[in-house]
Amino acid sequence: MLSLFKAKTWSGAGWLLTLCVLLVFIAMIYTALHLCYKGTDHKKLDNMQLLNIDNVIAVYPDPDSAQLASKDPAVKKVVLAKREERDHALFNFLRNEYDGRIDEYRLKRMDGLLINLNNKDTKAYLTDTEIIVNDFFWFVGTGTYAEVLFWALIGVLVSLIYYVSIANGQSLKVAGDADTGPFDPAEISGQVSKMFYAPVCALILVLGYNLLTGSNTKMTDISVGKGLLLFSFISGFFSGRVMKFIDRLKDLVLPLGSTDSTTTDDSATTNDIDKTDEKTANITISLQLAQAMLSTPEAADIIDEGFNTAVVTLKPLTGDIITLGKPADDQSSEFTATQVPWGKYTLHAAMAFKNNDTIINLEADKDIEISDADKTFQLDLDKAAEAG
């Protein structure tokens, strides 16, 4: 039983079948819940509907001031009966417009309010009020958040099925320029983690949307309707980009921490580095295998695992060594550094790759000069001299 939790136990076809079964299982749960617990949605009356509301109200003019001021029970009964007829006609119109999907309980609550309003106030109320109608989806209340979690998870599963099916269909003998490579069971743990963090991140973005729109009185009402489902699905499908977006938010939400870090890095380097006119640059280092390594049997495995474990540094002519930031995406090969002073550096990269019981040490060195605001350098990794 415990062997199922080991990545090497799974084949590409077995993991693909498991993902498909998971997707079907989630879809069945989602459908069953929505059939058992009906959802609701917001609807606003459009201009044509409001024009028809005017036509309905015009048939039932307001009583004159004498009738309203009268204390005669018979007169009050007549006034009340007229408003009941007006409200009955309005509700029939709304039922027809929304195919009978308006909940009767909500209509009774609305009737208790409209019965005390004249025609002008009734029209104003219907203009500003969102009509709540029955729907298959949960767009009102806390069920909205369940929709986000479900659709983000579905997006993750669909993206993983797509990726694994492409990887299974490829049999790369040498490294190429393809976006995906042969299926690697070592990636399963990362794919499983996506099923958990991607829905939560999508929910955080929706909560942020609520906060930015300032809907303090109805924090669980999302006005975008079915666009919410599309957004949640895309957030799950492209969960890597969502994580990058949230990672960049730290500079906005926690500017003090980001500024302190930058100030510390600058003070440790700019005092000693040979620089030109105190100018700085943002640089990107792209790692790839050297031409000699591309022909080796382990080249495809190295590219498939990615270069995220590499350590990339910049050594100035004098001063402290600068270590570049690692990629946010496991499959990315781009390392970055910001506000690097202009000057000459020695670029160095080192990475260890475990191939069965053998450790392959890769490294590369390159002399570079930074003299532009934004610069990208390419570094080719080859076997280290001491590697066996």
- Say if residue 143 is in the same domain as residue 249: yes
Is 275 domain-assigned?
no
CATH number at residue 320: 2.60.40.1120
- Is pTM beyond 0.85? Reply is no
Higher pLDDT, 273 or 154: 154
Is 28 domain-assigned?
yes
- Say if residue 306 is in the same domain as residue 359: yes
Q: What is the pLDDT of residue 24?
A: 96
- The string of pLDDT tens digits covering residues 50-96 is 999 999 999 988 888 777 777 888 888 888 888 889 999 999 999 89
Is 266 domain-assigned?
no
- The string of pLDDT tens digits covering residues 136-158 is 898 888 888 899 999 999 999 99
Provide the residue range defining the domain that includes 191: 12-34+138-172+183-253
Higher pLDDT, 151 or 302: 151
- Say if residue 142 is in the same domain as residue 26: yes
- Say if residue 303 is in the same domain as residue 339: yes
**Residue 385 scores a pLDDT above 80:** no
Is 265 domain-assigned?
no
Q: What is the pLDDT of residue 160?
A: 92
Q: Which of 52-61, 204-213, 232-241, 268-277 has the lowest mean pLDDT?
A: 268-277
Domain boundary among 200, 234, 253: 253
- Say if residue 118 is in the same domain as residue 205: no
- Say if residue 360 is in the same domain as residue 226: no
- Say if residue 372 is in the same domain as residue 307: yes
Q: What is the pLDDT of residue 148?
A: 93
Q: Cα separation of 322 and 11, whole Å? A: 41
- Say if residue 89 is in the same domain as residue 231: no
- Average pLDDT score over the chain: 80
- Say if residue 233 is in the same domain as residue 318: no
- The string of pLDDT tens digits covering residues 319-346 is 888 888 888 776 678 888 888 888 888 9
Is 274 domain-assigned?
no
- Say if residue 68 is in the same domain as residue 97: yes
- Say if residue 27 is in the same domain as residue 152: yes
Domain boundary among 253, 271, 295: 253
**Residue 5 scores a pLDDT above 80:** no
Most confident of 111-120, 154-163, 245-254: 154-163
Is 258 domain-assigned?
no
Is 5 domain-assigned?
no
Q: Name the domain count of the chain.
A: 3
Most confident of 9-23, 142-156, 204-218: 142-156
- Say if residue 89 is in the same domain as residue 156: no
Is 7 domain-assigned?
no
